[in-house]
Amino acid sequence: MLNLYLLRHGKASKSAESGKDFDRELNKKGTAQCNRIGFILAGQNLTIDRIICSSAIRTKQTAGIVNHYLKSSDCQYFEDLYLANAQKITRFISMEGQGKNVLFVGHNFGISDVTEYLSGKKTEMATAQLVHIRFAVDDWAKVSAGTGQFVSTIVPDVHSY
């Protein structure tokens, strides 16, 4: 049994000094959202074996904040995951997944699409929303379209900023 946790990055600033979307940072609300998700996951005594993350600034910040609570020793960043589609995300998870529990941190629309692609459940993910999908297989290489079961979702409740 494998568990995949899909996390959309927290709310980000509208622009970056560089002018590049890739460089946008989390804003105050996004930081609060990520802290809330991390706190919730830590309360579940969840052990994450590997974090797979886009190398964009906002996803790296999201993973860093959440991992402050989870304390995973294995966090990998990939430039190819920036704005990746469902098929590319699935390939990365199949190739890079290790252990029983993997956290993937990414962007819309790919992260919403991969939720539906893997579990069949249509989900429009909000910023910092977390989706848990379970697979009745023992090898990440066997994860493919429709093989997952949608377990739950969490949308962090934070005050407006």
pLDDT in tens, 101-144: 999 999 999 999 999 999 999 999 999 999 999 999 999 999 99
Number of structural domains found in the chain: 1
Are 140 and 26 in contact by the 8 Å Cβ rule? The answer is no
- What is the value of pTM for the model shown? 0.96
Distance CA 142, CA 50 (A): 17
Nearest to 14 by CA among 6, 23, 5: 23
Contact predicate 85/110, CB 8 Å: yes
Question: How confident is the model over 20-68, as pLDDT tens digits?
Answer: 999 999 999 999 999 999 999 999 998 999 999 999 999 999 999 999 9
Domain that holds residue 75: 2-154
The enclosing domain of 110 has a CATH number of 3.40.50.1240
- Residue 139 within any structural domain of the chain: yes
The single-letter DSSP state of residue 123 is -
Whether residue 97 lies inside any domain: the answer is: yes
- Bond prior to 109 in cis (omega within 30° of 0): yes
Query: Which H or E element spans position 95?
Result: helix 86-96
Residue 147 lies in a domain: yes
Please report whether residue 118 resides in a domain: yes
